[in-house]
Amino acid sequence: MEDWHSATEPLLINTPNAYPERIAPVGETALAQSRRLAALASSVRGPIELCRGDALASRGLAESARQVAEKATGHAHELWLVPVMALIRNGEAICQSMREIRANTGADVCWFLLEATGPELLASVVQAEGLLSWSELIGDPSIALMAAHDGPPESRVPACSPRMRHSLRVPASSVADVLAWCRQRQPAMEAWLGMPIEQSALEVAVRASSASAGKYGTFSVLDEVLLAQEADPGYVLSALSAAAAMVRFEWACGPVRLEHLTRRHAMDEQAELVSLARGDTPGNALDDEASVERAALEVEWYERPPELVLDQAAVVSWLQGLGVASSASDAFWYDARCLNKEVTRE
Contact 79, 63 (CB under 8 A): yes
What span, in angstroms and rounded, lies between the C-alpha atoms of 320 and 323?
Answer: 8
d(CA 138, CA 316): 50
Write out pLDDT tens, residues 30-67. 999 999 999 999 998 888 999 988 899 999 999 999 99
Kindly list the structural domains of the chain, giving each domain's residue range(s) and its CATH number in brackets, ordered by start.
Answer: 13-172 (3.40.50.300), 176-338 (3.40.50)
Cα dihedral 257/260/266/268 (nearest 10): -100
Please state the length of the chain. Answer: 346
Alpha carbon distance 206, 166 (integer Å): 33
pLDDT, position 215: 63
Whose CA is closest to 231, among 180, 173, 183? 173
Residue 123 confidence (pLDDT):
84
What is the rounded distance in angstroms from the CA atom of residue 86 to the CA atom of residue 84? 5
Average pLDDT, the chain: 80
pLDDT tens by residue, 89-118:
888 889 999 999 999 998 999 999 999 998
- Across the range 69-76, mean pLDDT stands at 95
Residue 251's pLDDT is 82
| 151 residue type, one letter | G
pTM over cut 0.85? no
